[in-house]
Amino acid sequence: MKQIKAAVVNGVNEDYKIETVYLDEPRSNEVLVKMVASGICHSDEAFRLGDADYGLPAIFGHEGAGIVEQVGDAVKSVKVGDHVVLSYAFCGHCNSCLHGKPATCDEWAVLNVSGRRKNGDPIFYKEDKKTPISTLLGQSSFATHTVVDENNVIKIDKSVDLTIAGPLGCGFLTGSGTVFNGFKPKVNSTMTVFGTGTVGLAGIMAAKIAGCSTIISIDIHDHRLETAKKLGATHTINSKNVDALEEVRKITNGLGTNYVMDTTGISSVMKTAFDATAQGGVYAPVAVSSNELTFVPFGELVVSTKSIIGVLMGDAVPQVSIPQMIDFYKQGRFDFTSVIKKFDFEDINEAANASNSGEVIKPIIIIDKTYKPQ
Ligand SMILES: [Zn+2]
Ligand SMILES: [Zn+2]
């Protein structure tokens, strides 16, 4: 076992604590990654704060980027020294995986949120080398090193700065994938996005790339709406000051938009989002929320021919979508770096608080300070 440092959550609502822990050796299908940086996602915080249950102690983090340090003998897609972004885990051989839908993998839950390998073995142990620590999304990127399945790693071009690339594995993947793979909008269609976090802004950039003619961004913070406008929103609405539904209808000649994405998960907002969906349109609530969708009279759904779709992780194949986002970024069409703020690994609690307060859209913790972008 390898001695490393990781930010451990030992109890619900406790701070991240940087501790010395032990990391198991990579097995034949696994890859040892030296982490350079990791984004903090709202799901990490939902588990830490107890909004959703998780087996503790745990090492969270699932927007990691780093350098391959060791590979198991069956690993084919990466070699030592490769630069990688980490995303979610999938089996690669069930029906869904073989149909290009790894986000609906039969083994998604056991591989991503059981906190252990598929056979139940832990990957991390506390300093006593006995007490297991849970992993998250098969990743646990809030650590100096991690061991992941080959399917978790996506090789990227070495010219891409690893201190910014991690969030491509979750937040930006979810937002852009909901548009590209969930909605698949026709050119000239219209879209509304509720919320301007990482997922919402990625959705706005993707809507622009996909050729949507009207892209409406709704939030309660003016400075965030300014960012949305820079990234592709054609209209912005501050729903603190005006009635959002009324404004959407004004912009769309009373019709609503063909596509609506809700990233807030707030019940009242989800109802407005459904009402803002045009006749025959598609509505995707993408926030991880325990609130129920109880607002739709069944008859109204039938008569309006609206669809409500569930989209997990943007229904994306990370190995395909992450290099594609990097291409869009290099072409100046996916400027995801404008929402990033970097923090030192030691300041992970400060970074998490800045995200929770809304002050920072996407905090990234820098784990390897010796890394220099090429
Ligand atoms: Zn996430
Ligand atoms: Zn599968």
Nearest bound ligand to CA 86? 1
* pLDDT higher than 80, residue 321: yes
- Cα of 199 to ligand 1 centre, how many Å? 9
Higher pLDDT, 60 or 288: 60
- Cα of 268 to ligand 2 centre, how many Å? 35
pLDDT for the residue numbered 67: 98
Strand bridging mode 30-39 / 362-366: antiparallel
Pinpoint the alpha helices (H) of the chain: 42-48, 95-98, 108-113, 162-165, 171-177, 198-209, 222-231, 244-251, 267-275, 298-304, 318-330, 348-356
- Cα of 159 to ligand 2 centre, how many Å? 31
- Split at pLDDT 50, 70, 90, the class of 335 is very high
pLDDT for the residue numbered 182: 97
- Split at pLDDT 50, 70, 90, the class of 289 is confident
Half-sphere exposure of 342 (CA within 13 A, CB side): 14
Nearest bound ligand to CA 40? 1
- Cα of 264 to ligand 1 centre, how many Å? 14
pLDDT for the residue numbered 221: 92
Report pLDDT digits (tens) over 19-41: 999 999 999 999 999 999 999 99
- Cα of 326 to ligand 1 centre, how many Å? 18
Higher pLDDT, 301 or 66: 66
Query: Nearest 10 degrees: CA dihedral of 234, 239, 241, 247?
Result: 50
- Split at pLDDT 50, 70, 90, the class of 267 is confident
- Cα of 314 to ligand 2 centre, how many Å? 16
Six token digits for residue 144: 């100096």
Give the distance from CA 137 to its chain's centroid.
11
- Cα of 315 to ligand 2 centre, how many Å? 13
- Split at pLDDT 50, 70, 90, the class of 292 is confident
- Cα of 76 to ligand 2 centre, how many Å? 18
Please answer whether residues 156 and 85 qualify as being in contact, where contact means their C-beta atoms are separated by less than 8 angstroms.
Answer: yes
Mean pLDDT, residues 232-251: 97
pLDDT for the residue numbered 260: 98
- Cα of 102 to ligand 2 centre, how many Å? 6
Mean pLDDT, residues 45-63: 93
- Cα of 280 to ligand 1 centre, how many Å? 30
Report pLDDT digits (tens) over 117-146: 999 999 999 999 999 999 999 999 999 999
